Structure 1
């Protein structure tokens, strides 16, 4: 930082600033708090932070973002757009890289080396939403201070300071917690840390998995959710013997209906993927070389494997912030509709935020890239302005697999809304399929496989407006196109 910038930062840091103030400590059973008027919420509370001091490792202290994922990258971009980043913003992360579009790690990043796999800097934030690529140089050019590979270990709310793993003491004015999630792991005592056992959360994890795939023959994937489906598709591209194991009765049980899951399972089986459903795992066994060699099931049988990928879910990273109000029902840090915690000047966004899901009148925590982007943008705009409207998120999930060169069939589906009520399924995989969720006559959610751009654009409108639909007309539709037209006319 130049001498002039240091002087300006020192002056700015000695001045009081305005912050969004949560006058309500959100609770899971209260979605309709009574807030003070915005003039009180944003101007009635004054915070100050200490001028430049050698005691603190960061020069930029007005805004500090903890976390280096997508939420952090989009928050940084929003601060830049408002002219509030240069010399004011510090990001501290456990990652070795600038924020990137994490979904790539289980999709194009795992493509075989001869099928044009994705690599950094190609998928840095914010290319996933069509924005400018924020490479490490971008942060330098914008005057943003970055601390890599140094996660925060604790926060002192009274002193407004953070301690990092390396012992750095950081000062903040406004703190944005964007620590995201970490993978759920098998215990070490049952083989969860054996060589050849992989988890995927960051670039280093994906690189390690690719190294195994290059010499693998038999791959076992534990988990039938997003990670399981996407990694299995990549393993097929490597021409590997691939088995998916999970305790549920069908794939992606939290979203797919049994009949919808069956269609995807049949498609995967056409690619040679094998399924073991409704089974438990006792432990992972090592071979003579110490690497994983087999998966032992609860019934005593074993499945040979030289590479095992565990995809059994994730949990929010909240341990450094236990002094901030946590939500024991959905996990994460409780926030209001502006992503303000119960502690003035502290915010939480992305996977870690337990927020009011306005459209369905409940508290939710969403682990998805779309929410990471939108929550970060909403939070920063609320922090910097008198914006007082509640975050109004529409749940959205998607997956893309088998997209590599030479694949006979690409799979791309999108879902919007809430998967409640009864379902109506139309079509099949040649080429389209749609599932509609209807509750008390209203269309609550819709999933579309292999739709056109125009058809995909219709889905969020249907899910948000929740029109009453004629079920008999929908059930009698002869094609996906006809079914979508029935739903469109209901609007």
Structure 2
């Protein structure tokens, strides 16, 4: 009987094993995860879960009974430490070895941390990536406490929003000239800067962290502009790194992620990869997409390819972020944009990215209808006249029939 092994029990890993069974694969499936809980949603960790609006069980992607009922061996609290691609053996940290006929790497990513030389090892310094991170920092979220958020990307902004809603005193620093500099236009950055400032967050741009101080627990932050802050704790949101160590030691090609083809297969014919740890083919180039949508879609293509189905992955990038009462929805990739058209209506706003006259991406702030139309246009390779987009009263739906 065929032996399929999946390393990484997150969104991508769960999607692989679920799709394998849905497609009728009847062989043995083992899903290996290094956490003590079954696969769960990560986006709500820094939002609903941290706010106390979601229980741990509500985070689970599937009930634990799903794995039993579908005869999926769920190996939790286990770390895969080595892959022998010649003998097709996965070695676990407890000394056990698992043979495989097909292997999927869905190892995800891990947050960049502050080095110990600047106080990164002090107690009260947190990252936001997994359940244990949030469980550790949750007791600190008490009204009146002072928190420093390091990093003005979406992770940092989401953490700042939750802290502000919980009544904390929040300072956010961003070393670049502005927040969201790597991922969004200045218009989107302006929108979220104003939103956070209206909710009491002190945003300092063009200012980095020099170092953190404290006897054992962090107490102060010294910034690159020479100022000093008294703080109770700090949250580090300065990006993530793809977890590619297993792939590298197995001899797989890695370039800012495990290199995969259009079937999500790596440079080894018996190994696939999907999710945050993997690249994908998009418009003739290799890119890595950090999103739930990509984790699901690429993983399902990997599962089908593992059982011999002729499938091709065509990424349709989309993302979202919840901050205060704003639902940000993003469709497409804004790389190389030349123009941004603003659609500004009552209670909603969206920014439409163009290269020349070609629509490539949309940032929607509570503009659900605009997002829906923009997303479908981008996926179909169509565009939208700039004059129509800029009119908040214009009906965009007819564009879908053009």
* 1:397 equivalenced with 2:319 (yes/no): yes
Cα distance, 1:265–1:215 mapped onto 2, change above 3 Å = closer
SS in 2 for 1:242: strand
Is residue 72–residue 178 contact of structure 1 (8 Å, CA) maintained in 2? Answer: yes
Provide the C-alpha distance between the structure 1 equivalents of 2:19 and 2:131, rounded to a whole number of angstroms: 25
Query: Does residue 89 of the first structure (1) align with residue 29 of the second (2)?
Result: yes
In the other structure, the counterpart of 1:104 is 44
- Alignment of 1:310 with 2:236, yes or no, is yes
- 1:468, distance to aligned residue in structure 2 (A): 4.5
* Equivalent position of 2:254 in the other structure: 327
Match of 1:162 among 84, 90, 96: 90
- Aligned partners of 1:223 and 1:318: how far apart in 2? 24
Indicate the larger mover: 163-172 or 90-99: 163-172
TM-score for both structures, normalised by structure 1:
0.78
Distance 1:260 1:163 in 2: 46
Question: Does residue 374 of structure 1 match 2:297?
Answer: yes
1:184-195 maps to which residues of 2 (within 5 A)?
A: 184-195=112-123
Secondary structure (helix, strand or coil) at the match of 1:275 reads strand
Query: How many pairs does the alignment contain?
Result: 399
SS at match of 1:228: helix
Question: 1:439 maps to what in 2?
Answer: 355
Separation (CA, whole Å) in 1 of partners of 2:371 and 2:343:
16
- Please give the secondary structure, in 2, of the residue aligned with 1:426: strand
> Aligned equivalents of 2:332 and 2:46: distance in 1?
24
2:344 counterpart (399, 409, 427):
427
How far did 1:487 drift?
A: 8.1
Q: Point out where structure 1 has 5 or more consecutive residues left out of the alignment.
A: 1-11, 14-61, 126-133, 403-409
Aligned match of 1:67: 8
After TM superposition, the structure 1 = structure 2 runs for residues 278-297 of structure 1, keeping only pairs within 5 Å, are 278-286=206-214, 288=215, 290-297=216-223
Change (3 A) 1:489 1:207: closer
Give the whole-Å Cα distance in 1 for the aligned partners of 2:246 and 2:239: 21
Alpha-carbon distance between aligned partners in 2 of 1:93 and 1:141, rounded to the nearest angstrom = 19
Task: State whether residues 467 and 490 of structure 1, in contact with CA within 8 Å, keep that contact through their aligned partners in structure 2.
Answer: no
Equivalent residues of 2:260, 2:278 under 8 A apart:
yes
Mapped to 1, the partners of 2:208 and 2:280 lie a distance apart of 33
- 1:261-272 to 2 correspondences below 5 Å: 261-272=189-200
Cα separation, 1, equivalents of 2:29 and 2:258: 22
Cα displacement string for residues 153-174 of structure 1 (whole angstroms, at most 9, x for unaligned residues)? 1111111111122222121110
Quick check: 1:67–1:93 contact (8 Å CA) kept in 2? yes
Q: Distance in 1 between matches of 2:70 and 2:233?
A: 42
**Is residue 270 of structure 2 the alignment partner of residue 345 of structure 1?**
yes
Change (3 A) 1:473 1:141: closer
Match of 1:121 among 32, 57, 60: 57
Which TM-score applies when normalising by structure 2? 0.94
Q: Label 1:205 to 1:381 Cα distance change in 2 as closer, same or farther (>3 A).
A: same
Larger Rg: 1
The answer to whether the Cα contact below 8 Å between 1:65 and 1:178 also exists between their aligned partners in 2 is: yes
Do the aligned partners of residues 157 and 306 (structure 1) sit closer, same or farther apart at CA in structure 2, a change above 3 Å counting?
same
Query: Contact 2:339–2:356 at 8 Å: present in 1 too?
Result: no
Please tell me whether the aligned partners of residues 295 and 305 of structure 1 are also in contact (alpha carbons under 8 angstroms).
yes
Q: Per-residue CA shift, 1:34-74, capped at 9, x if unaligned? A: xxxxxxxxxxxxxxxxxxxxxxxxxxxx1100001000111
Q: Which moved more, 1:250-259 or 1:94-103?
A: 250-259
- d(CA) in 1 for partners of 2:70, 2:385: 53
